[in-house]
Structure 1
Amino acid sequence: MNSITPFPQPRSAPEQVAFHRTELSEILSLYGRMVAAGEWRDYGISTLRDVAVFSVFRRTAENPLYRIEKRPKLRNRQGQYAVIGMDGQILKRGHDLKTVLRVLDRKLIRAVE
């Protein structure tokens, strides 16, 4: 009798973390206000295995000014959302994206002369 060789099972693609439509709506709303104020000019989105990152740039060829990260593994700890500055310092972390993004909204408010 011939032995039957089974086909190898296809590896499932590694799941990627991504921003949900409502999360992107919040982020892009802030982004639009900052572009209108002349503070930001470009952005990039990265979806990786453990983290989704929305990077904000003043100019295209620079390092990002801010990174908005979503790490679902930290959901039950410090919160899955974080805003990280250019130097790598965590500016705000929490469970609610809207409250985390307020740290960047404050940068928009300036004294009027």
Structure 2
Amino acid sequence: MPMTDQPDFPRDEAHHHGQTTSEVVVDFHEYKQAKNPPPVTFHRRELDQILKVYGRMVGEGEWRDYAIDHARDRAVFSVFKRAGEVPLYRIEKNPKLAAKQGAYSVVNANGMILKRGHELGPVLKVFDKVLKLVET
């Protein structure tokens, strides 16, 4: 299935509303009351931002593997130093926190939230390294 900026909905649900899957508009209250709502996902622009940071960190030898999980309440992009270990960091999207602390957060291996916010870009800046001047 191609990546889009639109949420994923089953075809039959889209046809139920008289629309094609690329034009689905779902009433927020209807979505909240659905018995089996679709999982929270990262949209294309969000994944582009995350993968840009991921690529940089792989290039620096810091990260080597990743996993993406989509659950009912959150989407999680986990990064690993080695496959099979506990993730070094989790980049989480939790829409229920959007009106409060912000939907996006970066969590370390110990479960400590390193940065949280309403926009993904500023939250990902936690991975920007501060350059230090070294005198020779």
Give the TM-score category using the shorter length. 0.7 to 0.9
When normalised by structure 2's length, the TM-score is 0.70
- In the other structure, the counterpart of 1:25 is 48
Q: Matched residue pairs, number?
A: 102
Secondary structure at the residue paired with 1:55? strand
Q: More relative contact order in 1 or in 2 (CA 8 Å, sep 6+)? A: 1
Matches within 5 A, 1:25-104: 25-104=48-127
Distance 1:110 1:23, change over 3 A: farther
Deviations 1:17-49 (A, max 9, x none): 000000000000000000000000000000000
Give, in whole Å, the separation in 1 of the partners of 2:42 and 2:117.
Answer: 15
Gaps of 5+ in 2: 1-33
Bigger-Rg structure (1/2): 1
What one-letter code is carried by the residue in structure 2 that aligns with 1:24?
A: L
Q: Which has the higher strand share?
A: 1
How does the TM-score come out when normalised to structure 1? 0.83
SS in 2 for 1:106: coil
AA aligned to 1:64 is P
The more displaced of 98-107 and 42-51 is 98-107
